[in-house]
Amino acid sequence: MTGKNTLLFIVALLVAGLAFLNPSGLRKTGDFLTFGLSTGDKISPEDLNSKLAVSCATAPEIKGKFVAGNVFSRYPMNLKDQLLVDVGSADGVKLGGAAISDGMLVGKIAGVSANTSIVQTVFDPNFSLAVRIGKAREDALLKGGVEPRLTLISKASSLAAGDAVYSASKDFQYGLPIGIIGAVNPTTQNVFSEAVLTLSYSPADLRYLFLEKQ
Amino acid sequence: MPRGFKTVIFATLLLLGSFFLELKQKAAFGWSFDYILAALLVLPLFLDFFEFIFFGSVAFLLLKLVYPWSGPEVILLIALPVLVFIFKKIFPWQSWLESFLAVLIGVTGFYALVNPSLFFENTGFLVTDLAVSMIFGWAIYHFLASIGKRNK
């Protein structure tokens, strides 16, 4: 083995060893290396709880049912749109429960481990959710994606752009707001109409989430 | 600086650059082309065994830092460059086409194994993604090839 190869091998062992360190020890390096995809500084538990308290004040029905956590990381590939949050089963997080941010439903809890949870957001291509729209309570199916869509809207419905969209799935609390409806597209080929879901936030803005507790 | 160090250093920097491009684009738009996958498929074509061990350990650390999930895609992301490296050692064929072939087969195989439904549900995006990833792979291939020539 030449000197160059020995040096490369030793450095490779050191680098590989770093990968097995406690993730929290590498948090700052990880934040730097994710070039903005990760969320930077952790929000303190006190600040998170005060944000949760503000949300509970405006929506009392969620009081005591959610726990606040920092968004730790975001799935970097196109296959999924998932967020890793730094609270888990030890904090009482419920698998399959709702994830909300500032009162808006942003996804469902797809995985829970002791100290972390995975949230499948509405931007995930495999996300789907039964929803209702507007005061007329028209049924629709929300299909996730880079541009989430509202599908299976009855052509007889009288919806207008700007009507509120809220959850109607048995898995979540009824009526959690999700966004507003964009322009309805009554296609001639399909039996149902479709519309774009307009959200008040961008996925990159999500720095903390409130996850449903058991 | 010896040739080998130069190649492995530039390969590592190009890998970091691909992380930068993909994660910045994902943060800005919510989607991204597969720059990391393209880099992981093309860069091992230039490395010898010890350089590849070093490159692989850096890639593993970077993936672990930005991708703390577990799942089949993580194993594939680590396995694909190993397969490229082994394939290159068995068939030491050299052509300007090899970067295109590596990215075409690697990215198509990756999605076919991890989520084949994407081929039907998101065909337009996948074709664009393949085209852009192949061009990116071709660009880094020629950059590293030119480094090698300059050091002969």
Asked if residues A49 and A69 have their Cβ atoms less than 8 Å apart, the reply is: no
- CA torsion A193-A198-A204-A208 (nearest 10°) is -110
A183 reaches B (C-beta below 8 A): no
How confident is the model at residue A25, as a pLDDT?
A: 55
Closest CA of chain B from A192, distance in Å: 19
- Rounded CA-CA distance A70/A76 in Å is 17
For residue B125, which residues of chain A lie inside 8 Å, CB to CB? 78
- Give the residue from A6, A28, A37, A122 with the most B CB atoms within 10 Å of its CB, the best one to mutate: A37
- Chain A's closest residue to B3, CA to CA, is A4
Give the helix/strand (H/E) hosting A16: helix A3-18
Burial class from Cβ neighbours inside 10 Å (0-12, 13-18, 19+) for residue A169 reads middle
Give the helix/strand (H/E) hosting A32: helix A27-33
Q: Which ipTM value was assigned to this complex?
A: 0.76
Per-residue pLDDT in tens (0 to 9) along chain B, 152 residues: 556 688 999 999 999 999 889 888 887 777 889 999 999 999 999 998 999 999 999 998 888 877 766 677 878 888 999 999 998 888 877 777 889 999 999 999 998 988 888 788 778 888 999 999 999 999 999 998 888 765 54
Q: Which of A28, A6, A5 is nearest to A18 (CA)?
A: A28
Beta-carbon pairs below 8 A across chains A and B: 109
Q: Which residue has the tokens 């070093």?
A: B54
Asked if residues A2 and A9 have their Cβ atoms less than 8 Å apart, the reply is: no
CB contact under 8 A, B30 and A203: yes
How confident is the model at residue B152, as a pLDDT?
A: 46
Tokens of A168: 């109607």
Tokens of B53: 């061990």
Give the helix/strand (H/E) hosting B109: helix B97-114
How confident is the model at residue A49, as a pLDDT?
A: 77
Tens of pLDDT along A136-174? 888 999 999 888 999 888 887 777 888 899 999 888 888
What are the residue ranges in chain A where pLDDT is below 50? none
B82 reaches A (C-beta below 8 A): no
Closest CA of chain A from B112, distance in Å: 11
How confident is the model at residue B82, as a pLDDT?
A: 92
Asked if residues A152 and A139 have their Cβ atoms less than 8 Å apart, the reply is: yes
How confident is the model at residue A159, as a pLDDT?
A: 79
